[in-house]
Structure 1
């Protein structure tokens, strides 16, 4: 196993129980309300369109709240993730809600070896996924291998411009200080916290991440044999990516408190396999 996989998997394995227990993921709300959808999926309902009956794979599904939301919209969903601890939480939530969702443990690059190639109507990827992958072109090849002809890719993701901003400065300045473009060497982070509210202090703190420019992502998708059908940039993110700089709306979307039009925080991309 490569070093980045070992480090990143240990980080996600340790954080999965804390994420499932956090109010941010609304686990109990999913159990209590059979119509409840995740904030991420609900945000993109106008763009997602009808998924009823579509054979769908959710890549890098984590603890399965977006996966369950797709199921509730009528999709026939398989979730895939490399973290066994995350999938344990996803399976537990599916069982608690009576949702017949299949979960497969695998690195995303190995998805074509563990899933049926060329059989999926929809490949879905949610926020905070691509930054864990060193090669976006290889990821696009995975998407193309899984989709049937005419099948669709749907991704909402953190914008590479957002990932380029250094949010740790103490002077209030939003500075572009991290590489916008994909580079061979990883961005190495050492943090004992996570992006949800929790009192847990974690032991696995080192992660390796990569940024991918928007042009690099689009070009990778096109070169993999898909045609772009949508690309929308959003001035908000479904988590507080820049603490101290943002305000949240009633839907949990965070925007810059001052002049939010300065910074794209997420984007939605759709493409269809030729």
Structure 2
């Protein structure tokens, strides 16, 4: 597992500057407009509700665009990520936007220990995070430990059914990868990242794991959480299945043919028992 984390960290350290420079993350829009929010946060605004004044923690915050968006909605934010290069970009963005956000470098599995006695009203995880974690139970344990009694987890994530599909197949939906959590990672070797850039990565090998929806919910229940909302969506913010998807006016990608066949992402909320 340690080797996997080191491989993934090297990969994300290389991606950070490329993502910050790409129009996909809209960094300049954040700087130019104090009202600008990330598409990911905007998608879930009605589900988030009023978060003004809440102490909030964004796990796996990357370069901080979603973190900044939550802060602009009035919460007091801490962002945590294992990539020092990502946090460097996140701090630059927050400073450029004159937004006070506390950023911490740590693995999610060490979050509760590193943050000490601090407890939060809201723990937030945005899309494309859980697949980098080998064990979902350790994640759930840290989430529960970091929340105040009655505090809320807010998670939007790629659907595990989507992550089990062969993304190279352009004419059908074909299962190629595990749906359930598995000990050995799915190993990728890809010199490209997912934003518009001509640069290539030298730290190209990454390790990923899938976690079934039941496994995620069961882990949260085991650690003293109560599920309060679960909504599956026919869309997500990137072209996960090239050749089979189309971009909507809302910035979300959907299957071009019969989108009702497949959940692509979901939003989950859970509250820590008092």
TM class by shorter chain equals over 0.9
Deviations 1:112-161 (A, max 9, x none): 11113462000000000000000001100000000010000000000000
Give the structure 2 partner of residue 242 of structure 1.
241
Give the structure 2 partner of residue 136 of structure 1.
136
Give the structure 2 partner of residue 161 of structure 1.
161
Deviations 1:88-123 (A, max 9, x none): 000000010000000000011000111134620000
Runs of 4+ in 1 over 3 A off after TM superposition: none
Give the structure 1 partner of residue 59 of structure 2.
59
Deviations 1:191-215 (A, max 9, x none): 1111111101111111010000000
Work out whether 1:82 is the aligned partner of 2:115: no
Give the structure 1 partner of residue 258 of structure 2.
259
Give the structure 1 partner of residue 29 of structure 2.
29
What aligned pairs does 1:208-223 form with structure 2 within 5 A after superposition? Answer: 208-223=207-222
CA distance in 2 between counterparts of 1:34 and 1:231 reads 31
* Conserved 8 A contact 1:34-1:97: yes
SS of alignment partner, residue 175 of structure 1:
coil
SS of alignment partner, residue 122 of structure 2:
strand
- The Cα RMSD (Å) is 1.0
Give the structure 2 partner of residue 202 of structure 1.
201
CA distance in 2 between counterparts of 1:118 and 1:230 reads 25
Report the Cα offset of residue 240 of structure 1. 1.1
Give the structure 2 partner of residue 151 of structure 1.
151
Report the Cα offset of residue 173 of structure 1. 2.0
* Conserved 8 A contact 1:117-1:147: no
SS of alignment partner, residue 152 of structure 2:
strand
CA distance in 2 between counterparts of 1:239 and 1:196 reads 10
SS of alignment partner, residue 144 of structure 1:
helix
Aligned length, in residue pairs = 273
Q: TM-score scaled by structure 2?
A: 0.98
Give the structure 2 partner of residue 189 of structure 1.
188
Q: TM-score scaled by structure 1?
A: 0.98
Q: Structure 1 residues 172-181 or 73-82, which shifts more?
A: 172-181
Deviations 1:50-72 (A, max 9, x none): 11000000000000000000000
CA distance in 2 between counterparts of 1:39 and 1:242 reads 20
